[in-house]
Structure 1
């Protein structure tokens, strides 16, 4: 046997040992912890680069997801109105003054409100659409809510996300309905499959299927022996045929769309994205998006897929559901499971290379760019990492995420910026400290001198994969650079 074959055999043996060890160890995700009765916040429990300091701006918020500033520098926040775990409340737009929250507007129980931006006297809000479909709302300072577009995807795994305003358009994301293109029992566990059994992913353009199908238990019947056979881009328990054409239409899932600031029909910008969560415009006027990658769950589980930062190009296709991180899906085989097969007959186009790849299961969400030399890191992107949802998303051996990182978009380098102090990583509730729980978004103030971190609050996960959010534990933090005397 030559040296090349020996090395290949040794590598296979090493992988087999690693998979065996991985399979026998229990998951230890950040949410797999007991929940404290009260949340304590201490700015001193955050580890920051030298010369930076943290302070608490507001506490007791209910599932906050984002902030925005008006022309006078006034601070506003949105509360989601929905959390995984099937907790529904009314989403709200709040004005934050001296740590106190005043309600400006209240929405229907159709959250989550996932993002907000300010443009020429109005707020633009992405309404996730968990109960009746997504919307883009315009909100005035008087609290009046006006839909710019309705009937967007959002009733399934992922939601209507974003937004940002650019060149007279509101750009926003629409998340995929499923984990990796196929409706399965995991979607029943999320709660939506029984409410909306006909939901499935929608392509933005015509696609041709390979005829790959998946047999699973059928959670829509009481017969434990009943099985369902489901194909990609089709309703649950509907088989795909080889060569079957699925017509594209708008609005679609797994895409970035836009609508004029005055309202109108959505237009396609780019697609092939699993869950394009947050958009941001760089100082050189380029559009970027964070993508939440696939999990080790459902009918077509994927393993070891990192979240991604993309530069968005008009007309771009980014590979989902047959590519992740710009790589073929076959490279993300879960230990002990079959190699994932492509769902589509042929690639739509060449898949670009990501700007950066984040840690697996980090849930890299909100993004903003530094523009101030006074704050530092000018031109760098800052990303809030919500943290793993293990074991629902798959096993992790230690908590992943629960911090804010910065990214050099020129090189793809990713570095920690704000993390919890301690020997281990994780949310404050697990570490028993007063630091970050689940950072969900970041935003620089109009001066660029301070970074605001929106902390969703405590969200526990149970051993069987259920989400248990704790209401009124959300926090807004402010990070500034200390003046040198």
Structure 2
């Protein structure tokens, strides 16, 4: 069990006491939104809000600096918010490139990026606000599209497809370039309804040919961040499970206070601090909105759908299990959003360690922070099988979250 000892009541005060994928072929993807494959500059408009325009000019990679002997060229363009990429060898020197388009991200609040509204206004047209996977040949020719939802007005999006409200965040083959099963992460995080968002994250398996989507693990925590990136090693799938809040406290920025609180990976003792969302509503960390329980003990995995599930963490599960959800383990925790995830090579100075890139907290909600850093971490499960701890939400980088450098402005 971990105990928090700070005494300050400043709003950023800590809420609790903390108890390889790769390919050798160089290519460039020029990313854009809702456009055909083109590299011509043009002013384009959002189809749902035509007054919203932007200059689209993907160029030809001329601003990318590469070592002598390398040449940058456009492989594919006109993609809709791509977030993941995977490669699979086919035969000889040939390979396929799989690009995940995330679909709807965060709610705009004005229907300008709403997949259901697009379907209603433009029936029968391909919906740019729902996720899918584009498969390209080695020459950049589009071969097929996988997992595209057929109905953006429902929670499921149709049968055996990605969830329609997004975002979908990552894809990866379990055996890297040699293929095997294609895994993906999706959610309905972007839905406007809080009860459609909570626990909507999934790890799924996508058929590389038909695109049929089969759940691998469902009902994972979802809030500010969903289930995100993957890594594979030793018969395990590892994934980043982002925090459900910005900084450990459910505030009005979390679905008006209705989204799920963070789930600890170990028993924790809350500090004496409570956090004010206005109108007299005060909440403790790791607690539902409006629940003040200073000094309370919150047991590991409180609120989780499975034992072993927590957030702000790196989780793992067995690839060969008939029921993978029963094998979930927390490997490392104490991250707001451990978005980037890679194992170092075994012959590297890090000796195969798991490297985690973390996105730091924002200045918003009941516990805002200014200037919190992004950070890189080395994640290592402890020898006794417990997850190692990396500081969030008590510490940002190497500094306590109570430091004045993080005061809101």
Bin for the TM-score computed over the shorter chain: 0.5 to 0.7
Give the one of 99, 104, 107 matched to 1:82. Answer: 104
Contact 1:129 1:160 in 2 (8 A): no
Give the whole-Å Cα distance in 2 for the aligned partners of 1:135 and 1:35.
33
Q: CA deviation at 1:276?
A: 0.8
Deviates more, 1:248-257 or 1:111-120: 111-120
CA offset digits 1:452-484 (Å, max 9, x no partner)? xxxxxxxxxxxxxxxxxxxxxxxxxxxxxxxxx
Give the whole-Å Cα distance in 1 for the aligned partners of 2:188 and 2:282.
28
Q: CA deviation at 1:35?
A: 6.4
Q: CA deviation at 1:292?
A: 0.5
Which residue in the other structure is 1:108 paired with? Answer: 163
Which residue in the other structure is 1:235 paired with? Answer: 288
CA offset digits 1:188-245 (Å, max 9, x no partner)? xxxx346xx151111111100112111222xxxxxxxx3311110111111122x201
Q: CA deviation at 1:332?
A: 5.0
Q: TM-score, normalised by structure 2?
A: 0.66
Give the whole-Å Cα distance in 2 for the aligned partners of 1:90 and 1:186.
24
Secondary structure at 2:369 match in 1: coil
Q: CA deviation at 1:328?
A: 1.4
Q: CA deviation at 1:82?
A: 2.3
Give the whole-Å Cα distance in 1 for the aligned partners of 2:54 and 2:293.
49
**What is the number of equivalent residue pairs in this alignment?**
288
Which residue in the other structure is 1:260 paired with? Answer: 318
1:247 aligns with 2:299: yes
Give the whole-Å Cα distance in 1 for the aligned partners of 2:218 and 2:256.
21
Contact 2:369 2:408 in 1 (8 A): no
Which residue in the other structure is 1:127 paired with? Answer: 186
Q: CA deviation at 1:57?
A: 1.4
Q: Which runs of 5+ in 1 are unaligned?
A: 1-33, 218-225, 338-485
1:328 aligns with 2:388: no
| Aligned 1:310-349 pairs, distance under 5 A | 310-314=377-381, 315-331=387-403, 333-335=405-407
CA offset digits 1:413-441 (Å, max 9, x no partner)? xxxxxxxxxxxxxxxxxxxxxxxxxxxxx
| Aligned 1:210-225 pairs, distance under 5 A | 210-217=271-278
CA offset digits 1:323-380 (Å, max 9, x no partner)? 111321122544567xxxxxxxxxxxxxxxxxxxxxxxxxxxxxxxxxxxxxxxxxxx
Give the one of 54, 65, 70 matched to 2:88. Answer: 70
Which residue in the other structure is 2:58 paired with? Answer: 41
Contact 2:60 2:73 in 1 (8 A): yes
Which residue in the other structure is 2:71 paired with? Answer: 53
CA offset digits 1:392-424 (Å, max 9, x no partner)? xxxxxxxxxxxxxxxxxxxxxxxxxxxxxxxxx
Contact 2:368 2:408 in 1 (8 A): no
When you count strand as a share of all residues, which structure comes out higher?
Answer: 1
Give the whole-Å Cα distance in 2 for the aligned partners of 1:108 and 1:153.
15
Secondary structure at 2:237 match in 1: strand
Give the whole-Å Cα distance in 2 for the aligned partners of 1:159 and 1:336.
26
Give the whole-Å Cα distance in 1 for the aligned partners of 2:280 and 2:173.
49
**4+ residue segments displaced more than 6 Å:** none
Secondary structure at 2:56 match in 1: coil
Which residue in the other structure is 1:304 paired with? Answer: 371
Q: CA deviation at 1:312?
A: 1.2
Give the one of 236, 254, 261 matched to 1:169. Answer: 236
Larger RCO of the pair (alpha carbons < 8 Å, separation 6+): 1
Contact 1:175 1:275 in 2 (8 A): yes
CA offset digits 1:118-144 (Å, max 9, x no partner)? 124211112244135111111222322
Q: TM-score, normalised by structure 1?
A: 0.56
Which residue in the other structure is 2:334 paired with? Answer: 272
Contact 1:129 1:135 in 2 (8 A): no
Contact 1:295 1:305 in 2 (8 A): yes
Give the one of 117, 120, 134 matched to 1:94. Answer: 134
Secondary structure at 1:54 match in 2: coil
Distance 1:48 1:41, change over 3 A: same
Q: CA deviation at 1:258?
A: 0.7
Give the whole-Å Cα distance in 2 for the aligned partners of 1:299 and 1:100.
48
Give the whole-Å Cα distance in 1 for the aligned partners of 2:408 and 2:86.
46
Give the whole-Å Cα distance in 2 for the aligned partners of 1:304 and 1:336.
8
Give the whole-Å Cα distance in 2 for the aligned partners of 1:335 and 1:206.
28
